[in-house]
Amino acid sequence: MLDIKVLRDDPGAVRAGALKKRLPDRAAAVDRALQLDAELRALLPSLDALRSGQKQASKALGKLSPAEREQHLQQQKQVKAEVAVLEEREKQLRADLEAQLALVPNVPDPEVPEGKDDTENVEVRRWGEVRDFGFPVRPHDELAEAQGWLDQQRASDMSGSRNYFLFGDLALLHDAVLRFAIDLMVDRGFVPVDPPVLVRDKAMYGTGFFPGGEEQTYRCEKDGLNLIGTAEVPVTSLHGGEMLAEEDLPKRFVARSGCFRREAGTYGKDTRGLYRVHQFQKVEQVIVDVADRERSIRHHAHIVDNAEALLQAFELPYRVVAVCGGDLGVPQAMKYDIEAWMPSRKGYGETHSASRFYDYQARRLVLRYRPKDGGKPLFCHTLNNTVVASPRILIPLLEMHQQPDGTVRVPAALQPYLRGRSVIGKALA
């Protein structure tokens, strides 16, 4: 949610931002919001004056004699009816304004590249070499099935497509990457969190997933709860509605959770293997800090660096891309994706997504802090990034570290999490 004052001051910039995100209908919401805002502001002075009169008269009424009282009572009933009409109008306008304002996307930063979709994201840097294997490379799913580590057939029979069973050493590796990720982040000063995975609409709305993301979300209608697609939702919402002290900021969290995504509208896309699945585990980093753009930008660089440290420890080549306008979500002001090299895809595949929001989420969440100098409360800035998502990360791990005989080398950083083993799997025929 943007401040309505930003729309009043510079509607053109907000409209242009929505268009940069390739969301023309959301750009139209800017004008609808301003129209409603103007109507509301035209209404309020007269309504307030009317209410003021009513309030005073009511107060006086308490002190009148019974005879005078009767006469004034009739007058007051009239006023009451007038106020009721205007209040109804006010309520409607406020609700409509809120709804339109919620549709207005965050304005992308100037540094966000122009572009229509992910093919126009701009590479910022690369790390690591895409080595020449010198033997036929097995796709991760074939390798994993051959090792007895993966069963997608029975998972589909049981739970539908895009589900999986992991077994044996791959199940252990899955857990190892997650635990490594948490340790890495705890070492870097983040507070570990195990959040709820079922949340009310308020948290989905507050983080900007609703309205718009309903089709991507599993919903437990009976209880009015939603399964989260990322721990960003509960963790960023953690202090929603609260007034933090500046001394408490920044807050840095690292959360591990199950993540659930319906993947509606992706039929036929990434159908193979463990790339796009309905349920996965993710370790997510979230930062809440003061309203300072420069600081947000620095945090953004840091959370990208945290993810790069993990990929480097996993010895996986990757690149960082600046996400273009058309591929940017509604609430984000700027986003970097990190993509690891995946031989079976013959390309880089997204493993991390680092977003900064400024106060867009905090406004929706009413997440505020009181500045040290005792000034007016301000909305916080929020950011988040993946630390690791698994099983997706297992794709490059298996594919890049496989050996000619079908065994898989374990990077040194992960060996402590596998009881010191440096290789997993048996020699395949």
Partner RNA sequence: GGAGAGGUGGCAGAGUGGCCGAUUGCGCCGCCUUGCUAAGGCGGUGUACCGGAAACGGUACCGGGGGUUCGAAUCCCCCCCUCUCCGCCA
Residues that bind RNA (CB under 7 A): 4, 41, 44-45, 47-49, 51-52, 54-59, 61-62, 73, 76-77, 79-80, 91, 242-243, 370, 374, 376-377
Residue where the block lists tokens 């997650």: 178
Strand order in the sheet with 219-220: 198-199, 225-227, 219-220
Of the pair 53, 347, the CB lying nearest RNA is at 53
Helices 24-61 and 66-103 sit at what angle, rounded to 10 degrees? 170
**Do 145 and 151 meet the contact criterion of CB atoms below 8 Å apart?**
yes
Cα separation of 57 and 183, whole Å? 66
Of the pair 360, 417, the CB lying nearest RNA is at 360
Cα separation of 298 and 173, whole Å? 32
Of the pair 6, 130, the CB lying nearest RNA is at 6
Q: How far is the CB of 57 from RNA (least distance, A)?
A: 6
Q: How far is the CB of 359 from RNA (least distance, A)?
A: 12
Q: How far is the CB of 158 from RNA (least distance, A)?
A: 21
Phi, then psi, of 92 in degrees rounded to 5: -65, -45
Question: Has 154 been annotated as catalytic?
Answer: no
Catalytic one of 26, 252, 256, 261: 261
**Do 314 and 176 meet the contact criterion of CB atoms below 8 Å apart?**
no
Catalytic one of 257, 296, 353, 390: 353
Catalytic one of 276, 295, 319, 421: 276
Catalytic one of 237, 350, 363, 368: 350
Cα separation of 297 and 90, whole Å? 39
**Do 57 and 362 meet the contact criterion of CB atoms below 8 Å apart?**
no
Of the pair 243, 264, the CB lying nearest RNA is at 243
Of the pair 63, 269, the CB lying nearest RNA is at 63
Q: How far is the CB of 33 from RNA (least distance, A)?
A: 12
Catalytic one of 26, 252, 364, 392: 392
- Cα 188 to chain center, whole Å? 22
Q: How far is the CB of 111 from RNA (least distance, A)?
A: 29
Of 224, 225, 288, 211, residue with least CA distance to 255: 288
Of the pair 60, 264, the CB lying nearest RNA is at 60
**Do 303 and 357 meet the contact criterion of CB atoms below 8 Å apart?**
no
Q: How far is the CB of 61 from RNA (least distance, A)?
A: 4
* Amino acid at site 220: C
Phi, then psi, of 123 in degrees rounded to 5: -70, 135
Residue where the block lists tokens 């070499």: 129
Question: Has 179 been annotated as catalytic?
Answer: no
- Dihedral Cα 251, 291, 247, 254, nearest 10 deg: 0
Of the pair 88, 123, the CB lying nearest RNA is at 88
Question: Has 392 been annotated as catalytic?
Answer: yes
**Do 231 and 284 meet the contact criterion of CB atoms below 8 Å apart?**
yes
Question: Has 94 been annotated as catalytic?
Answer: no
Q: How far is the CB of 72 from RNA (least distance, A)?
A: 8
Question: Has 276 been annotated as catalytic?
Answer: yes
Q: What is the DSSP string of 118-175?
A: GGG-EEEEEES-----SSPPPPHHHHHHHTT-EEHHHHHHHH-SS--EE-HHHHHHHH
**Do 233 and 199 meet the contact criterion of CB atoms below 8 Å apart?**
yes
Of the pair 104, 297, the CB lying nearest RNA is at 104
Q: How far is CA 395 from CA 6, 24, 256, 398, 406, in A?
A: 44, 37, 20, 6, 14
Q: How far is the CB of 81 from RNA (least distance, A)?
A: 9
The residues annotated with a catalytic role in the active site are: 261, 276, 350, 353, 392
